[in-house]
Amino acid sequence: MEVQGCVAIVTGANRGIGEAFVRVLMQEGAARVYAGARDPASAKHLEDEFPGRVTAVGLDVSRPEQIMAAAAACADVSVVVNNAGAFNNQLLIGADDMSAAREEMEVNYFGPLAMARAFAPVLKANGGGAILNVLSVGGILAAPNMGGYSPSKFAMRAAGTCIRAELAGQGTTVTSLIVGSVDTRMASHVKGAKEAPEDIARAAMRGITRGTDEIDTDRFAIEMRAAMARDPKGLERQMAKAVFVREPSTGR
C-alpha cells in the first residue's frame, strides 16, 4: 500500500517517536492521522499544526475499553502504528517487586496485541492495510540492565510474527521496527550518539510501502545485529556487565 492518502492511528503520539510519526505521515501525504495519547490535550499542538488532518484521540493502550472505543471511532484507519511504550528502568530480580515488569508487559506487549485485535476488522474493511510495531534492539538482544522492557519487546516481536500469519489472508502486513538509540525522553539516560525520531519514522515508511517484515531503523540497530552474528556469547557477557553500571530511574 501507499502512504499517500492513507489514514493512520499512532499510539503515544504526543511526543518522541510517536510525534515524529505523525509529522512524517503528514509530510508523505497521509489523508488523516489520529494522534493517540493518554491525555488528548497533550497532542493538541499537532491538531493545531495540521488543522483538519490530525485528530487527537484519548488512548491509553493499557485500558482495553479505550482501545475498543478508538477502533469504533476511527473506522477509516488503514495503518496502525503501535508506538506507545513503557520503560521503568528496574531490574527483574533486583527490583522491590514485579510491578514495573508487569507494567512494561502490559504497555509493550498486551497493548499492541489489543490494538491489533481491535483494528484487524477495521483494516480488513479498508482493504488490508498495515500494522507497524515499534520495537527495540532490546527485542532481538536480551538487555539484562533493562529489566522487563527487553522481555516485553521480545514477546511483541514474536507476537508480530504470529499476527502476520493470521492476518495475511486479509492482506494486512505486519512490520517489526527494530529501533536503536533515539533522542527521546525515554532514552534520556542513554549516553552517546542518538538518531532523530523523524529519521526513525522515515525508515519505518518502508514497512508500509514495501510490506517489509522487519526493519533495522538506524545504525545502532544494524551494528548490534551484526555484533550478535559475530559473537553472540561475547555480546551477552558485555551486556551483563551493564547490570552493575546503572543510571537513576527515569520512569516512563
Question: What's the average model confidence in pLDDT over 107-126?
Answer: 98
Q: At 175, is the secondary structure helix, strand, or coil? A: strand
Give the DSSP per-residue string, 43-112. Answer: GHHHHHHSTTTEEEEE--TT-HHHHHHHHHH-TT--EEEE---------TTTSSSSHHHHHHHIIIIIHH
Domains of the chain as residue ranges with CATH:
7-244 (3.40.50.720)
d(CA 191, CA 55): 35
Q: Using CB atoms within 10 Å of the CB of residue 235, give its burial: 0 to 12 exposed, 13 to 18 middle, 19+ buried.
A: middle
pLDDT band at 49 (very low <50, low <70, confident <90, very high): very high
Question: Which pLDDT does position 39 carry in this prediction?
Answer: 97
Q: What pLDDT sits at residue 133?
A: 98
What integer best gives the mean pLDDT of the chain? Answer: 92
Report yes or no: 140 and 225 within 8 Å, Cβ to Cβ. Answer: yes
Q: Looking at the annotation, which residues are catalytic?
A: 149, 153
- Position 87 scores a pLDDT of 95
59 pLDDT band, cuts 50/70/90, is very high
> 251 pLDDT band (50/70/90 cuts)?
very low
Query: Once rounded to an integer, what is the mean pLDDT over residues 137-156?
Result: 96
Reply yes or no on whether the pLDDT at 200 is more than 70: yes
Residue 186 confidence (pLDDT):
56
Check residue 1 and give its pLDDT.
84
Residue 120 CA to its chain's centroid (Å): 17
Q: How many CB atoms lie within 10 A of CB 147?
A: 23
pLDDT score at 193? 62
Query: What is the spatial distance between Cα 195 and Cα 97, in angstroms, rounded to a whole number?
Result: 33
Averaged over 189-202, what is the pLDDT?
77
DSSP states of 237-248 as a string? HHHHHGGGS-PP
